[in-house]
Amino acid sequence: MVDVTPKPESAREARARVTLRMRPATLAAIRAGRVAKGDVLAVARLAGILAAKRTAELIPLCHPLRLTGIDVGFRLDRARAAIHVETAVRTVDKTGVEMEALTAAAGAGLAIYDMVKAIDRGLVLTNLCLVEKSGGRSGHWVRRGARPRAAAKP
């Protein structure tokens, strides 16, 4: 594990995304709340939050961080029969939260798969990626083609 003792604490944030592609009927069942296991997006939101909080237990050399905020959002895309999951994770600490944001997106996506696998085993998680990160020595980074997050209002 990298020693971060001499590093100063700073506000840090990371956003990540994953896309789930599925049959149109699967997306329709999720939208209509007709999935036998229950509210797919509510369960996926909780799974994403829990995954972010447990990142250091899952990724061997990840530092445990004091997370101050975790958001998990969904955009249902009927035209592409897809769900786009986006996460944002915040902390004030000595190292970044990119892994927590990515783990949250993956955890939420896997929870969706688990909830609907009985009706669509062909569902695919794709394009898991970091979208944006800010804070720390390396500063602000935005994936090419992604929109940066709107600045917080005072």
Positions annotated as catalytic residues are 114
Crossing angle for the helix pair 98-116 and 24-32, nearest 10 degrees? Answer: 90
Q: How many helices (H) and strands (E) does the chain have?
A: 4, 5
Q: What angle do CA 151, 63, 86 make, to 5 degrees?
A: 40
Q: Is 140 exposed, middle or buried (0-12, 13-18, 19+ CB in 10 A)?
A: exposed
Q: Is the dihedral of CA 143, 72, 128, 67 positive or negative?
A: positive
